[in-house]
């Protein structure tokens, strides 16, 4: 049976963000999962050290979430939100608003991080149109920002490797340098922060009358390489947005639901976004639910007689899916009962101690961590931060080695991602970190 699965897979499947030629060399077919481990079709076990692409929270096959989905099936699996509400989506909206920043009071559902971002783009854009401010049509992106792979989401992102190919399809946004301490020529986060905020101020002074909003990933840039914002940066950006009446649109797709040691990462700086996008962890990583949260100010600009043509003409077939919303409600119950956000924050301190051993390795240039998000940047030369030649794909090789040792993750260029499920126990975290360390050492020794 395994042979047949490989054959059919190789014949008919095309995987996201995957060079299929690479995949064929190291094929992997997952058959099941339990807790923080998944098993392939040969019963080989792997630690899920990237939370199945940054979304799993409680581990796989969490009883309460499975039950919630099964129970919901006895009522109904799906009905449309176009012109109708449904019970779990209402309950979930209320729960989300309870835990979200105070500025947010309305929930617009969709089904992936990228769609929640598309909605944020169109919502911010149409707000200004509906208000008669026809010039405010542009957005600001941060260098290395990432908000998903649909064309709009790419247009408010700025990762050369992912976006350059499609540049002629994308709409133009202004780009501000992201203040990454490690990558700044001075290595100083404060200087990087001030430079970036100054660039925003100058842009706003000249162009704020044509800028609808600024898109940022909350506190950490994920796909751009796990780059951390220096303290005070997001708050500084919020102040500038208020001063110049530009919307602050915060993407919490990767950082929301306890991932950074707070329910939402904006809480680290007490920031109140005008629009916030959430997905991934919202269902504990079980089903495709996403949402775009916004303020009463924005909602009110769309509320009018139909003939005024202010309706938000946007929606997806699976928007507000009942099975997903039921899973999300169960997810939030577990967060409360297991005090998961505080737990995550304690695990975060534990991990940072353990990471000391990894920072000390000869080819580890930088280790960046916020909560249960860690990026380990490999370099050829530590002192000068000189990168490995790209064609060596050292971080990729290291993750293949980790897989052999029974751990799954993916690299982002030269950065190895460590993002365990929030529920990982201390001993499971130890196991993961020791495999990661060993694999990095082994691969580094091939490139002395």
Q: What are the residues whose beta carbons fall under 8 Å from the beta carbon of 444, sequence distance 6 or more? A: 361, 362, 363, 378, 394
Q: Is 279 in the site for ligand LLP (CB under 6 A)?
A: yes
Confirm or reject binding of residue 184 to ligand LLP (CB under 6 A).
Answer: no
Binding range to ligand LLP, per CB under 6 A, among 224-232, 250-258, 337-345, 354-362: 250-258
> Which residue has tokens 């290595």?
187
Q: Which DSSP symbol is given to 148?
A: -
Q: Verify binding: residue 163, ligand LLP, rule CB under 6 A.
A: no
Q: Which of 222, 236, 256, 324 is in the footprint of ligand LLP by CB under 6 A?
A: 222
Residues 49-78: x/- map of binding to ligand LLP (CB under 6 A)?
----xx------------------------
258 and 341 in contact (C-beta within 8 Å)? yes
Cβ atoms of 159 and 223 closer than 8 Å: yes
Decide whether 154 or 301 has the Cβ nearer to ligand LLP: 154
Give the separation between CA 371 and CA 366, rounded to whole angstroms.
16
148 binds ligand LLP (CB under 6 A): yes
Q: Which of 65, 237, 253, 341 binds ligand LLP (CB under 6 A)?
A: 253
Q: Which of the stretches 136-144, 174-182, 246-254, 313-321 binds ligand LLP when contact is defined by CB under 6 A?
A: 246-254
The Cα 281–Cα 372 span in angstroms is 13
Among 46, 109, 139, 146, binds ligand LLP (CB under 6 A): 146
Helix axes 87-99, 322-337, angle to 10 degrees: 40
Query: Could you say which of 3, 14, 17, 168 contacts ligand LLP (CB under 6 A)?
Result: 17
Closer Cβ to ligand LLP, 54 or 388, answer by number: 54
Using CB under 6 A as the binding rule, the residues of this chain from 83 to 112 that contact ligand LLP are 112
Nearest to residue 114, comparing CAs of 251, 22, 315? 251
Q: Which is nearer to ligand LLP, 223 or 301 (CB)?
A: 223
| Residue 324 binds ligand LLP (CB under 6 A) | no
Give the number of other CB atoms < 10 A from CB of residue 266. 27
Nearest to ligand LLP of 15, 446 (CB atom): 15
Near ligand LLP by CB under 6 A: residue from 238, 251, 269, 428: 251
What are the tokens at 410?
């993916």
Rg of the chain, C-alpha, whole Å: 22
Q: Does 113 bind ligand LLP (CB under 6 A)?
A: yes
Which of 38/253 has CB closer to ligand LLP? 253
Residues of 223-233 as b/e, b for ≥16 C-beta within 10 angstroms?
bbbbbbbbeeb
Dist CA 176 CA 140 (whole Å):
7
Applying CB under 6 A, which of residues 68, 81, 96, 114 lies at the interface with ligand LLP? 114
Backbone angles phi, psi at 362, to 5 degrees: -60, -30
- Contacting range for ligand LLP; rule: CB under 6 A; set: 73-81, 140-148, 341-349, 369-377: 140-148
| Number of other residues whose CB lies within 10 A of the CB of residue 282 | 30
Question: How far is it, in rounded angstroms, from Cα 205 to Cα 178?
Answer: 19
Residues that bind ligand LLP (CB under 6 A): 17, 53-54, 112-114, 117, 146-148, 217, 222-223, 251, 253-254, 279, 410, 412
């Amino acid at each position: 049976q395994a042979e047949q699965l490989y054959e059919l897979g190789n014949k008919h499947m095309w995987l996201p963000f995957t060079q299929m030629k690479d995949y064929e060399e190291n094929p992997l077919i997952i058959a099941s999962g339990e807790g923080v481990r998944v098993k392939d079709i040969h019963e080989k076990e792997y630690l899920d050290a990237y939370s199945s692409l940054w979304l799993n929270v409680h581990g796989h096959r969490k009883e309460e979430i499975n039950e919630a989905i099964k129970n919901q099936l006895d009522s109904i699996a799906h009905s449309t939100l176009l012109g109708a509400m449904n019970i779990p989506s209402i309950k979930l909206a209320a729960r989300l608003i309870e835990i979200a920043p105070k500025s947010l009071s309305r929930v617009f559902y969709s089904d992936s991080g990228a769609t929640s971002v598309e909605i944020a783009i169109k919502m911010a854009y149409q707000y200004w149109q509906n208000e008669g401010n026809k010039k405010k049509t542009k957005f600001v992106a941060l260098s290395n920002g990432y908000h998903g792979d649909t064309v709009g989401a790419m247009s408010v992102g700025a990762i050369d490797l992912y976006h350059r190919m499609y540049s002629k399809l994308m709409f133009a946004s202004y780009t501000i340098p992201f203040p990454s301490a490690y990558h700044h020529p001075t290595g100083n986060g404060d200087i990087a922060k001030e430079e970036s905020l100054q660039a925003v101020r100058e842009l706003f002074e000249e162009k704020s009358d044509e800028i609808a909003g600024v898109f940022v990933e909350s506190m950490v840039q994920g796909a751009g390489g796990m780059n951390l914002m220096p303290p005070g940066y997001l708050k500084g950006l919020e102040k500038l947005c208020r001063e110049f009446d530009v919307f602050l649109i915060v993407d919490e797709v990767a950082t929301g639901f306890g991932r950074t040691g707070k329910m939402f990462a904006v809480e680290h700086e007490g920031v109140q976004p005008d629009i916030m996008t959430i997905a991934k962890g919202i269902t504990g990583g079980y089903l495709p639910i996403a949402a775009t949260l916004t303020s009463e100010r924005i909602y009110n600009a769309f509320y009018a007689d139909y003939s005024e043509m202010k309706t938000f003409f946007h929606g997806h077939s699976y928007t507000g899916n009942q099975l997903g919303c039921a899973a999300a409600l169960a997810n939030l119950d577990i967060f409360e009962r297991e005090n998961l956000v505080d737990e995550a924050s304690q695990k975060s301190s534990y991990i940072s101690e353990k990471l000391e051993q990894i920072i000390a390795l000869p080819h580890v240039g930088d280790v960046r961590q916020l909560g249960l998000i860690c990026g380990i940047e490999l370099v050829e030369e530590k002192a000068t931060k000189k990168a490995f030649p790209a064609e060596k794909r050292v971080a990729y090789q290291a993750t293949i080695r980790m897989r052999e040792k029974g751990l799954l993750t993916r690299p982002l260029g030269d950065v190895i991602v460590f993002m365990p499920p929030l529920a990982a126990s201390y001993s499971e975290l130890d196991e993961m970190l020791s495999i990661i360390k060993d694999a990095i050492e082994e691969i580094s020794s091939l490139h002395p």
